[in-house]
Structure 1
Amino acid sequence: MITLEPTNSNYVNPLFKFVTKEAVALLLKIPVEQIKRIRCWAHVILVVSEHLVRFVSYADLPPILEVEPPTDKDIITWRKRWRKLKTYKAPNFWKDFYTQKYRESTSKTTLQAWERLVSRIKFALSYDAVQTLKNVFQETENLIAVSVSG
């Protein structure tokens, strides 16, 4: 369960829209089933699982299709986080997240929607991550084409 914790200021982090159990589980390298609770506070996310309690930054989680696309403000927030960490790029797990989303796509339309989203944020990914995602996209597109025609 994902809970938005009430605060005195009623502030909701704009990156709250990208919080999913799947992304948090992949970031923390734990099975989704082990997550008991995700509590979203104004500036940080508290994740409680069977064997772990951890704070996670909103800026560590990748954008998803199910909500509005990332805004310029979202991008600025991510860049500030990465500059603070001196990585200047999205966490490496974003590549794994989008690889998983590409492979879970069961239609060309969904796959292309994920590709459009990744294209919007590819500035944030390393060259190797972009190349890997291009390859996974091609493989998945071919598999979908074969399953439709076969």
Structure 2
Amino acid sequence: MTAVFLLGMGGCFAALTERPEKIERTRIAGTWTGDGGARVVLRADGRFEMSGIPRSAVHFAFSDPPSGDGRLSGSGTWEPAHDGDKVDDITLYIAAGGSFTDTQVGSLGVAEGGQDPVLYFSTDIDKWYGFEIRKTRT
């Protein structure tokens, strides 16, 4: 069974009034980190791993959430939604395993696409912000 969930609501960009620019597709792969040790690794081959995502930042739409209030981990594949070379959303296809008993689908949006890009776990299609992760410079 496939269930859909949305992650987010950690930090937010309450002061922003419009959705920011997109990010170049070539800049997505890499390690992204957030508050409290949250980490998402988006690999160039379309695979990803995530760990330390706050349980309190997750809203599950069609399935029961994992028990407890700790942190979530998982892995799977990712796919960008793009217009040419620019990406505004990334779909996460999370495989069963880690903190997830069923296959899940999540989404990362682009909050900032400039020099220091920021992604966020989206929580509501009517809002374009959520729990933030920033790309780690190498």
Q: TM-score normalised to the size of structure 2?
A: 0.26
Structure of greater Rg: 1
Structure ranking higher on relative contact order (CA contacts 8 Å, 6+ apart): 2
Q: Which has the higher strand share?
A: 2
